[in-house]
Amino acid sequence: MPAVEQHPSAVIIGAGHAGVQAAESLRESGWAGRIVLIGEERHAPYQRPPLSKDYLAPGQAAEPLPLRAASFFEQHRIELRVDAEVASIDRRSRSVQLSDGEQVPFSKLVIATGASNRMLDVPGSTLSGIVGLKTLDDAVHLRGILEPSRNIVVVGAGFIGLEFASAARAMGKNVTVLEFSARPMSRALSPAMGDFFARQHLDNGVGLRLGEGIASFSGDEDGNVVTAVSTSGARYPADLVVVGVGVAPNISLAQAAGLEVENGIVVDHALRTLDPDIYAVGDCASFPNPSGAGRIRLESVQNATDQAKHAAHQIVGATEARYEPVPWFWSIQGGLRLQIAGLSAPGNNCVLRGEPGSGRFSVFCFDGETLVAVESVNKPADHVAARKILDQGTNPTPEQCGDTGYDLKSLAKALALAE
């Protein structure tokens, strides 16, 4: 019997939200063998969401929020390797090879490699002062150059771009956001919610330019960016450009190892790849859509955490269930806390609950008569109720959801009691 069988070893590639949770859940659900958690970043695992929010505010601590206390890994007998990149997966010998040549054997492997920022490919896009925001190192660099910058251009009105734009406006910077689509966050939000956020950012003094993409940048003789030129031909002064045009899943290791990839590492309902000993979780995983046809890939802390728990439970044989929790997400932009439960789609019938003018309301999205998603602004109670209602598959009508007199909280409570 090979050595790895006698000393079962779980290896996790990627020490982000999903990787750390997978390690913890494996240990807590009874995995007795080695757990090796390998992360290429040189920092102890940290929380990513604050990087585009509080972390940028003046006077914030330089240290990021840790994902777990320093003592956690030793206490849980998790061998954490930071600053260690996995260069390849050898499925035949059941081992991963690090870029320094070390081989680490596995009996079970979890790939949690996340996603990388897409960068721009327009003239001038390699000029100094054009940056992305994904890692702690990115955020530290950005903090350093944000302070002295006056004119900032953000390319892409997605969540991260707009969170950053809000933080920069709070520091009194001139901020222009270029967005090719007709609405901000248009891939994820209903038109009503997108329009609300567009108005809020404009009112906050952000130069939100919808229907305008980036065409090119020009720089000074030192190679620093000076101007952003949009697809309309307009020129915007820029001493800092933040690019937020989405991410691509980190699939190259899986692909080179002969695993199936398709906008992510392809996994089944158990989050297993075509190799029964290899799982993929978090931003890098493409999984069967629990509420529809085809596959989806989600980029959120909830998805990373829940998938990691699920894969760990599968590995130790603690569950045969399919992965199908209700997805949820949050974003903080200025004083607005957006929370989303479920997944909306273009063409959904959307019903307002509450007045957008009050700054506290929700949008209920229906596919036909079926509630599929709820977007809430500064209405945490609606969000909590929505998660419960979507989880139970109960279906209040559009009229009930739009009626603020209709008691959603009690409906959610009754569902909880019925569980």
| Binding positions for ligand FAD, rule: CB under 6 A | 13-19, 38-41, 48-49, 51-52, 85-86, 112-114, 133-134, 160, 250, 253, 282-283, 299-302, 304, 329-331
Q: Compute the least distance from the CB of residue 70 to ligand FAD, in Å.
A: 17
Q: Compute the least distance from the CB of residue 16 to ligand FAD, in Å.
A: 2
Amino acid at 321: A
Token pair, residue 222, equals: 């030192």
> Which is nearer to ligand FAD, 136 or 229 (by Cβ)?
136
> Which is nearer to ligand FAD, 64 or 396 (by Cβ)?
64
Alpha helices by DSSP H, 40-135: 72-75
| Cβ atoms 14, 39 nearer than 8 A | yes
C-alpha–C-alpha distance, residues 110 and 108, integer Å: 7
At which residue do the structure tokens 């209405």 appear?
379
> Which is nearer to ligand FAD, 304 or 371 (by Cβ)?
304
> Which is nearer to ligand FAD, 48 or 310 (by Cβ)?
48
Q: Compute the least distance from the CB of residue 96 to ligand FAD, in Å.
A: 9
> Which is nearer to ligand FAD, 340 or 350 (by Cβ)?
340
Residue nearest to ligand FAD (CB): 16
In 10 A of CB 381, how many CB atoms? 12
Q: Compute the least distance from the CB of residue 49 to ligand FAD, in Å.
A: 3
Q: Compute the least distance from the CB of residue 305 to ligand FAD, in Å.
A: 8
| Contact residues for 48 (Cβ-Cβ < 8 A; gap 6+) | 16, 17, 134, 301
C-alpha–C-alpha distance, residues 89 and 99, integer Å: 11
Q: Compute the least distance from the CB of residue 80 to ligand FAD, in Å.
A: 12
Tally of CA atoms within 13 A in the half-sphere of 154 that contains its CB: 33
Q: Compute the least distance from the CB of residue 39 to ligand FAD, in Å.
A: 5
Token pair, residue 218, equals: 């020009």
> Which is nearer to ligand FAD, 37 or 214 (by Cβ)?
37
Q: Compute the least distance from the CB of residue 116 to ligand FAD, in Å.
A: 8
Q: Residue 148, exposed/middle/buried by CB under 10 A (0-12, 13-18, 19+)?
A: exposed
Q: What is the DSSP letter of 273?
A: -
> Which is nearer to ligand FAD, 86 or 257 (by Cβ)?
86
Q: Compute the least distance from the CB of residue 356 to ligand FAD, in Å.
A: 22
> Which is nearer to ligand FAD, 229 or 332 (by Cβ)?
332
| Contact residues for 103 (Cβ-Cβ < 8 A; gap 6+) | 90, 93, 95, 96, 97
C-alpha–C-alpha distance, residues 100 and 107, integer Å: 21
DSSP letter string over 372-419? EEEEEES-HHHHHHHHHHHHHT----HHHHH-TTS-HHHHHHHHHHH-
> Which is nearer to ligand FAD, 13 or 240 (by Cβ)?
13
